[in-house]
Structure 1
Amino acid sequence: MKKFVLLTAVMTILASCGSNDKGELVGDKGKSWHPEKPYGMELIPGGSFIMGKGDDDLAGVQDAPAKTATVRAFYMDATEITNSEYREFVNWVRDSILRYKLAVLADEVGKVPDDGGIGEYAFKDADTANMSVYEKYMFENYTGLGPTGYEGRKINNKVKLIFDTSKYPDEYYTEVMDTMYLPLEDSYNGQRTWDVKKFKFQYSHMDIQEAARNRGIKRRDAIVKEEIEVYPDTAVWIRDFSYSYNEPMHNDYFWHDAYSEYPVVGVTWKQAKAFCEWRTIKKNSYQKSRKAAMVNTFRLPSEAEWEYAARGGLQAATYPWGGPYTKSDRGCFMANFKPVRGDYAADQALYTVEAKSYEPNDYNLFNMAGNVAEWVNASYDPSSYEYTSTINPSVNDKNNQRKIVRGGSWKDVAYFLQVSSRDYEYADSARSYIGFRTVQDYMGTQATGNKK
């Protein structure tokens, strides 16, 4: 007993040594936090607003009755996600899959970096000499626990991929690259293109709503695994319009540099969600390399967040610029839409326009009306405004595949450009007039529209 008391006293003394708190409860203080605005985003201060139709519902849909709602502060992309930004996602997925396939084949044929050729693309753990104690422990105890036997193994991202066929290093490299292209019988004019069906992004996320409501559920059962094809459906330019010549948009819109700063289209709701997950992974990988704090996840906005941001601080306005007209005092249209029957060019645009076209709203957000409609993280229920919460209202039923799109597009009439108008499309559908933008939660509660 004496030894126990002595040991306790020694531990107490040691715990107090080197501390300046004088034995007082001062809290476990970590690093000071300084909010960093993500690149290309604008801070939307939290606050309350009148959500829904502030005037007559001319279409008689009656799915957006006016109600007061409050949303927390968040960051939002100043523009819709562009072709250039989405191409970065597609190329990242493509390169990751290529590196993985090269590493697997190198492992199967017993090639290591010193062998050159495909060996340069071997898994990083092919040489265990430079592993830390932790990496070696994880490698010996967890690597390969899955259906393929390669789970947990790290690919080599430093060595450059070779796309010039005349410079392929060996026959193994050639074999892997050949599997990623369409077969020769599916090619024409000597051009082989990527088999885009093989560009799939895999990720996992936790269903927080399910975990919170079902207290008896195991954590592992709340983790959802997804595998999504990432390549946008360029054929939407043809399928969306019967008896219409839109082949140039099908051929060039996504890949050609002339359209790099135009909003990406042909992306499903599920692909937009996958993009958000990838963007979070990309940013946090950088944060980890700098030993900096991880950032919040990027995600699609809720319906209330989207409408609040679109209004730009204007209460009961019809459009992001106020209204009630779609033209400025100089007679210029304020957005890209279809103002006249059959006349798509009246607003100085035929299809989409560059993401930073027209004047931004008071939150410095571009094209919150027109250009392309935008996916939001919400399911369509015509009566949802009647039962949702008044703080951060959100309805996203995983069994309801009708997902909300907001803002109207280049092919829509003015009604759909109104900040309160609701529309929907199915989650697995892609359209030539639907894109998206992302948001990120603001850490803390001080950024409000009412702050002095």
Structure 2
Amino acid sequence: MPLKLLQMKNSMLYVMLLLITITSACNTRSYNTRQTRATSSKDLVAPPGMIYVPAGNVTMGTPGQNGDSTNMKKYRLSAFYMDKTSITNKQYRQFVYWVRDSIAITDYLNNKSYFQRMRTKDTSAKANINWDKVGDGRSIWRSKNYKIIDKLRPMYNQGDDNQSGNGELNKKILNFRYETSSADKSKSGYSVIKEVVNVWPDENVWDRDFPNSQNDLMVKSYFTNPSFDDYPVVGVTWKQARAFAAWRSKVWKAYNYKMKNPKLISLTMDLPTEAQRAYVSIPSVITNEVSIKDSVSKKKIKIKKVINPLQSGDSAFTYTMPVTYLPPNKFGLYNTVGNVSEWTLNTYTLSWEAFVHKINPVLLYDAKDSDPETLKRKVIAGSSWKDQATQNIPERQPEIQDEAKSYIGFRCVMPAPDFNPGKSNFKTINKNSK
């Protein structure tokens, strides 16, 4: 499907995700991470930044009235790949810049040199962007060619919107279109849901979450300043997180198509389910067994508690910290407890276990903007930098899907085949995504 401009009253520009389809994926911008350690076996290689999580069981449920575990159920999870860390500011900026550059090339520059050569005589077909030519976008945005500068001028804030006086990019036009499928028993088994999402994170969450507090540095610098490159991205809604996963899936599939490596698996990435997130939430520091309460039902259950280093008095960080600052857990995952809470795929309800299967459970409802807030609630997992020093592991919290917070980030997962790692056929390699 080609990229096209959707005309709307507010002149907002939408970018079609399917620009980088598998059939035209010989050229695409890379998804880069810093010295990614990818898990490999004889038969498969993990996507950059992800590691293999073997199949296993996880016990979840609503505690009984007396705080016992009679209502707890065991669920079986297939193997999957998961990001070692929360998505960082630097990684999320790659997504934002891809959207920015796509809009600039297709809707403003209209320069044939930025597009792939057509291999068809069909005059109605549109060429796709040649990302090898575009590179990281510097040739566009740092160009001194007055023709390029003049064509891109409408992409910047004008008049009163240009508050800094330095020619800021109009963030309102950075909109991204993607598609997801959802189960639909009334039709053919599933339906396609089309979403249009503005991709720029909400930088004002620091002031909104903590009024009457000095947060100017975080508001103005946290997402854009390279000093915070390796910190978790925040201010991202549930739909923005899913949009990132959809974009990254296409980039990964395009890379696989280009490499033609049978060890690479091209499946769709998404947010982890609540069960997947609970399965891997093994902290680095655990203390004695305690009684806690569910955040909504207030029922108690015996579990262990974890020390949140950001609030224990031993941390050098007031807010978030670099995603690999603390050691990983037994799965090799960083900050599954602490730093930032993370979006999951699941819809939040107290009776969720009555609706899910015992194998790979998930309860997902794609709420519309017009739906009431009760239908928009999603599960966030893990404690964050703002929580108390001793934060309980299984406590699940609801959050409205279109609300952005300074303490909520996300990471992605991708399905993987089950196999026995074993020392003979399972190893860790250093890999940069190119």
Paired residues of 1:302 and 1:378 also in contact (CA < 8 A): yes
Is 1:408 aligned with 2:383? yes
| Equivalent residue, structure 1, for 2:345 | 377
- Residue correspondence of structure 1 range 104-119 to structure 2 within 5 A: 106=110, 118=111
Structure 2 residue matching 1:323: 3-state secondary structure: strand
Paired residues of 1:79 and 1:367 also in contact (CA < 8 A): yes
> What is the deviation of 1:406?
0.6
Aligned length: 355
The separation in 2 between residues aligned to 1:437 and 1:88, in whole angstroms, is 15
Give TM-score scaled by structure 2 length. 0.74
> What is the deviation of 1:157?
3.2
Is 1:247 aligned with 2:216? yes
- Residue correspondence of structure 1 range 50-199 to structure 2 within 5 A: 50-52=59-61, 65-103=71-109, 106=110, 118=111, 120-121=113-114, 123-124=115-116, 131-132=118-119, 135-136=120-121, 139-140=122-123, 143=125, 152-160=126-134, 161-164=139-142, 167-170=144-147, 173-188=148-163, 190-199=165-174
| Equivalent residue, structure 2, for 1:38 | 47
| Equivalent residue, structure 1, for 2:186 | 214
State the Cα deviation string for residues 55-101 of structure 1 (Å, max 9, x = none): 999xx8x9995221111111111111111111111111111111111
> What is the deviation of 1:185?
3.2
The separation in 1 between residues aligned to 2:383 and 2:70, in whole angstroms, is 16
* Residue type of the alignment partner of 2:225: H
> What is the deviation of 1:382?
1.1
Cα gap change, 1:273 to 1:191, in 2 (>3 Å): same
Structure 1 residue matching 2:82: 3-state secondary structure: strand
> What is the deviation of 1:357?
1.9
> What is the deviation of 1:379?
0.6
Structure 1 residue matching 2:140: 3-state secondary structure: coil
Q: State the percentage of identical aligned residues.
A: 33
Paired residues of 1:63 and 1:385 also in contact (CA < 8 A): no
Larger Rg: 1
State the Cα deviation string for residues 175-215 of structure 1 (Å, max 9, x = none): 431111111433245311111111111222332x12xx234
Structure 1 residue matching 2:365: 3-state secondary structure: coil
The separation in 1 between residues aligned to 2:357 and 2:209, in whole angstroms, is 36
- Structure 1 residues 345-354 or 224-233, which shifts more? 345-354
The separation in 2 between residues aligned to 1:233 and 1:380, in whole angstroms, is 23
Q: Which has the higher contact order (CA 8 A, sep 6+)?
A: 2
The structure carrying a bigger strand percent of its residues is 2
| Equivalent residue, structure 2, for 1:278 | 247
Give TM-score scaled by structure 1 length. 0.71
| Equivalent residue, structure 1, for 2:280 | 309
- Residue correspondence of structure 1 range 306-385 to structure 2 within 5 A: 306-311=277-282, 321-324=285-288, 334-339=307-312, 345-385=313-353
The structure carrying a bigger helix percent of its residues is 1
State the Cα deviation string for residues 305-362 of structure 1 (Å, max 9, x = none): 1000113xxxxxxx56443379xxxxxx8434434xxxxx553321000001222211
Paired residues of 1:336 and 1:409 also in contact (CA < 8 A): no
Match of 1:238 among 182, 203, 207: 207
* Residue type of the alignment partner of 2:108: L
Structure 2 residue matching 1:281: 3-state secondary structure: helix
Q: Which runs of 5+ in 2 are unaligned?
A: 1-41, 291-305, 368-374, 423-434
Structure 1 residue matching 2:358: 3-state secondary structure: coil
